Amino acid sequence: MFGLDKKDTSLLILVAILTMLAPFILNPFPATSGLAQFNAGYPDLMQRFVIFGIFAIGFNILFGLTGYLSFGHAAFIGVGSYAAMWMFKLVGMNVLPALALSMVMSGLFAVVIGYISLRRSGIYFSILTLAFAMMSYALAYSVLATDMDGPDQQGLLQKGLTGGETGLQLTLQDPRVFGQQATADGNLPVPSLFGLEMRSSTDVTFGDWVFTFSTGYYFCAIVMLIAFYLSIRIFRSPFGMMLRAIKSNQQRINYTGLNAKPYMLAAFVISGVYAGLAGGLMAAMDPLAGPERMFWTASGEVVLMTILGGVGTLIGPVLGAGLIKYMENILSKINSDILHTWFAFLPDGLEDFVVGMIYPFIGKGWHLTLGLIFMAVVIFLPGGLVEAGQRISRIFKGRKAPEGAKKSSTEPAE
Amino acid sequence: MDAIILQVLNGLDKGSAYALIALGLTLIFGTLGVVNFAHGALFMIGAFCAVTLSRILTLSHQVIDETRTDFLGNPLKVDVPYVYDIFGQAAGDTIIDWAVPLSILFAIPVMILIGVVMERGLIKHFYNRPHADQILVTFGLAIVLQEIIKYYYGANPIPTPAPEAFTGSFDFGALIGMEANNIIYPYWRLVYFGFAAIVIGAVFAFLQFTTFGMVVRAGMADRDTVGLLGINIDRRFTIMFGIAAAVAGLAGVMYTPINSPNYHMGMDFLVLSFVVVVVGGMGSLPGAVLAGFMLGILESFASMREVINIIPGINQIIIYLVAIIILLTRPRGLMGRKGVMED
């Protein structure tokens, strides 16, 4: 189906089912129970799952296939967000033109950055991309945030192209040539798809369970499925093979008379466009764009997601993105009171001790957990979650499996 | 002329910090071939060594002062640092005042220990893994170290003043026979520069004039052959890692009066230090030092008002711009050698 072989088709269908049923799957606990805080089925978080999934899928096309570790991919997220915001401000609140512009703009940026950065490889490439991303951050934070044309009539460029520290926001004075400047009751219009508002959602109550179906989430999920499908096609195409060949031995490619450069640049631009799309979706879900999205720790985060899920695997980046965003939300919500209620069954002294031991790793300290998990994955499990899954399934299947598992679709590119 | 001298001086303190961190990075890279993303965290830990020592020195116990009373008429309780009990009040005050310079003595063993533990415990296992893995694991380590510090010291900057004698500024212009009151320069920044120069000189002298340094240099050139000669080069490289950590830590200790330490100061410096290393040429020690001072001074020139009025915000991006231009025109950096990190 869709030009995929049987295995890839079933993977795609599995991902499609999981994303479409996510509001159910991620809400396993009744709203009234104490475990409800582990529910991840609210629109804001689910949107982040799929948006960062897109980002990580794109990053994986570069890092997983070619082995070039970019430490500046967040720059494209920022570019995408700003481009989408300007489309919302100038043209109208329809998300499609906004996403189109964010992909085009991030693609252009990727061509320039990629053309320069790809002249070097290895650690130099990482540092060049890092330098570009930090430069974009500084540009967005201060340089482009100064008034450019003097106070123009609508005050559009009053805070420059990027709005600086506070970020770029919608205002009632924005022209929005093909849309309304304000809603009937004088509020800011919200991003929509031909009248279908991204923010709208329906609650379905089922006994104690409350499931929220959000338009924005389903829109993002469909975009992610398309992105995922395209990435499978790229992985299986001759182009994908070429990228793998570059990863395993670039010198040999050169000796056979092929120029690796255009392939590398194409991979870089594709992953940049994916990141731009993710950035555009972020702006579409929450019309706001700030420079902090471009900070280099944001670039580190996507590296982390890809590694955690499994570099060079199809499904890995999506899993990694989901897991990290889930932990970020859930772990950072737990505070010491909640811990005390959990361990209330222990004797007092022991309870305080256990809570004291766990406390540094949750709440505001969840970054510590993240760092530790990340280190553990890099040290013990370079193939990430996917490799872990394969190892476990190998144990269950006995000794027959390894032969087949090696050829499976999730094998990391050499 | 005044303005130029002032900007050069202003660039020196940041340039010193860049140079020291880049020197450590290059030492680690040159000896072990590892790209250490946790080096910024070592700088930050150094700064927190100073914070820790000044906290230890001001540890105090309450004593009832019979001569004074509070507003209710009860005898006043006063905090008396333990240092007073040991050295007496006058000497105790001096010691507390000099906490930052004293932290150098405290930081050197601590940082060497951290460096050695880090190398033996973690980085040792990554010699044969791809550079991407080394970057990733040290990046993870940097996050962990940063979060540990944040947990114990909080997220806010902790002011750590310089000794009384070095606070304030002096008239550098009058000192070199120019018009007075044009070049005012804080004492501590000059101290910082002098300190950086001494540390850099000491590292170079250590490598150049001692047998240990000679072996290390030989190991940097050809590790296998040195190993075949029956020298335990691994152990020496471990010690060099400790020394590199100590250099970064010392840079952090002395930087505390200039910028109050907070948990993410290491990350802030790390990115720029990498740029410095790359501009100077990967694996070249003089290149790292030269590029550090050069970029520091360049940054300070770019933040002059006259320049900012022409190109707003240029001071934020100048270093990256220069790095990109240099890498494109001289791909090996200013003083990079052929064959280092060419793969």
ipTM of the complex: 0.80
Res A406: pLDDT: 46
Given an 8 Å threshold on Cβ–Cβ distance, is A368 in contact with B147?
yes
pLDDT of residue B339: 56
The H or E element that residue A169 is part of is strand A168-169
Residue among A109, A111, A115, A102 at smallest CA distance from A133: A109
Chain A residues close to B341, C-beta within 8 Å = 122-124
Q: Does B152 touch chain A (CB under 8 A)?
A: no
Residue A286's domain spans which residues?
6-295
- Domain range summary for chain B, segments of one domain joined by +: 2-59+109-329
By C-alpha distance, the chain A residue nearest B313 is: A143
**How many angstroms separate the CA of residue A338 from the nearest CA in chain B?**
19
- Give the closest-approach CA distance of A179 to chain B in angstroms: 34
Distance in angstroms (rounded) separating the CA atoms of residues B180 and B2: 10
pLDDT at A227: 92
pLDDT at A149 over 60: no
pLDDT given for residue A147 in this prediction: 60
pLDDT of B117 reads 92
Residue A158, pLDDT score: 61
In a mutagenesis test of the A interface, which of B264, B317, B328, B329 is the best target, namely the one with the most A β-carbons within 10 Å?
Answer: B317
pLDDT, mean of residues A323-334 = 82
Q: How far apart are CA B115 and CA B39, in angstroms?
A: 10
- B69, B63 contact by CB (below 8 A): no
In a domain, A364, yes or no: no
Please name the residues between 164 and 223 in chain A that touch chain B, using a CB distance below 8 Å: none
Q: Do A365 and B147 touch (CB under 8 A)?
A: yes
pLDDT-derived band at B201, boundaries 50, 70, 90: very high
Most trustworthy range by pLDDT among A52-66, A340-354, B313-327: A52-66
Buried b (16+ CB within 10 A) or exposed e, A130-154: bbbbbbbbbbbbbbbbeeeeeeeee
CB contact under 8 A, B275 and A127: yes
Higher-confidence residue of B21 and A382: namely: B21
Find chain B residues with C-beta within 8 A of A375's C-beta. 137, 140-141, 144
pLDDT score at A413: 47
Query: Within a domain: residue A309?
Result: no
pLDDT in tens, B93-118: 888 888 888 888 889 999 999 999 99
Q: Which residues of A touch B312 (CB under 8 A)?
A: 142-143, 146
Q: What pLDDT does B338 receive?
A: 63
In angstroms, the CA A310 to CA A57 distance is 11
Residue A368 forms contact with B (CB below 8 Å): yes
Which band of pLDDT confidence, cut at 50, 70 and 90, is reported for residue A25?
Answer: confident
Q: Counting Cβ atoms within 10 Å, is residue B1 exposed (0-12), middle (13-18) or buried (19+)? A: exposed
Instruction: Give the CA count within 13 Å in the CB-facing half-sphere of A279.
Output: 37
Q: How far is B312 from chain A (nearest CA, A)?
A: 6
| B163, B57 Cβ separation under 8 angstroms | no
Q: What is the pLDDT of residue A107?
A: 94
Q: What is the CA radius of gyration of chain B?
A: 23
Q: Select the residue of A116, A122, A365 nearest B341 (Cβ to Cβ).
A: A122
Inspect the interface and report whether the beta carbons of A307 and B317 lie closer than 8 Å. Answer: no
SS3 labels along chain B: CHHHHHHHHHHHHHHHHHHHHHHHHHHHHHHHCCCCCCHHHHHHHHHHHHHHHHHHHCCEEEEEEEEEECCCCCEEEEEEEHHHHHHCHHHHHHHHHCHHHHHHHHHHHHHHHHHHHHHHHCHHHHCCCCHHHHHHHHHHHHHHHHHHHHHHHCCCCCCCCCCHHHCCEEEHHHHCCCCCCCCEEEHHHHHHHHHHHHHHHHHHHHHHHCHHHHHHHHHHHCHHHHHHCCCCHHHHHHHHHHHHHHHHHHHHHHHCCCCCCCCCHHHHHHHHHHHHHHHHCCCCHHHHHHHHHHHHHHHHHHCCHHHHHHCCCHHHHHHHHHHHHHHHHCCCCCCCCCCCCCC
Distances in Å between the Cα of B155 and the Cα atoms of A356, A403, B158, B162, B265 are: 19, 51, 9, 22, 11
First-to-last C-alpha distance (Å) of chain A: 27
With CA atoms as reference, the chain B residue closest to A70 would be: B132
DSSP A81-142: HHHHHHHHHHT-SBHHHHHHHHHHHHHHHHHHHHHHHTTS-HHHHHHHHHHHHHHHHHHHHT
Whether residue A161 is predicted with pLDDT greater than 80 in this model: the reply is: no
Report if residue A359 sits inside a domain: no
Compute the mean pLDDT over every residue in chain B, rounded to the nearest whole number.
84
The first and second tokens of residue A191, run together, are 């991003």
At residue B340, the pLDDT reads: 55
b (16+ CB within 10 A) / e for A349-380:
eebeeebeebbbbbbebbbbbbbbbbbebbbe
Chain B neighbors of A138, CB-CB under 8 A:
313, 316-317, 320
User: Is B151 in Cβ contact with A127 (below 8 Å)?
Assistant: no
In this structure, what are the phi and psi dihedrals at residue A214, rounded to the nearest 5 degrees? -110, 135
- As a whole number, mean pLDDT of residues A153-168 equals 69
Q: Which residues contact B277 (CB under 8 A, 6 or more apart)?
A: B22, B25, B26, B29, B288, B291
* Residue A34 at interface with chain B, using a CB cutoff of 8 Å: no
Residue/partner pairs of A156-159 with CB below 8 Å, 24 or more apart: A156/A89
B139-179 tens-digit pLDDT: 889 889 988 888 888 888 888 887 877 777 777 767 776 77
Q: Which of A143, A159, A161, A162 is nearest to A151 (CA)?
A: A159
Q: Per-residue pLDDT for A23 more than 60?
A: yes
Of A128-137, B78-87, B210-219, the range with the lowest mean pLDDT is B78-87
Q: Which of A204, A211, A69 is nearest to B135 (CA)?
A: A69
Tell which CATH classification among 1.20.120, 2.60.40, 1.20.1050, 1.10.3470 matches the domain B2-59+109-329. Answer: 1.10.3470
Integer Cα distance of A82 and A64 in angstroms: 27
Among A204-213, A398-407, B219-228, the minimum mean pLDDT is found in: A398-407
Q: What is the DSSP letter of A201?
A: E
Q: How close B241 gets to chain A, by Cα (Å)? A: 20
Q: pTM score, two decimals?
A: 0.84
Lowest mean pLDDT among A76-85, A213-222, B105-114: A213-222
User: Quick check: helix, strand or coil at residue A209?
Assistant: strand
pLDDT of residue A325: 86
pLDDT of residue A409: 46
pLDDT tens by residue, A311-323: 888 888 888 888 8
Give the list of residues 6+ apart from residue A401 with CB closer than 8 angstroms, or none.
A393, A394
Structure tokens at B321: 């711009």
pLDDT exceeds 50 at position A407: no
CATH number at residue A184: 1.10.3470
In a domain, A170, yes or no: yes
Q: With contacts defined as CB-CB under 8 Å, which chain B residues touch A141?
A: 316
Reported confidence tier of residue A155, pLDDT bands at 50, 70, 90: low
**Residue B185 pLDDT > 60, yes or no?**
yes
In sequence order, which residues have a C-beta less than 8 Å from that of residue B265 and are 6 or more positions away?
Answer: B40, B43, B44, B47, B252, B259
According to DSSP, the residues that pair with A28 across neighbouring strands are: none
Q: Select the residue of B312, B320, B328 nearest A134 (Cβ to Cβ).
A: B320
Structural domain total, chain A = 1
Contacts of A134 in chain B (CB under 8 A): 271, 320
Query: Which among B132, B137, B150 has the least Cβ separation from residue A379?
Result: B137
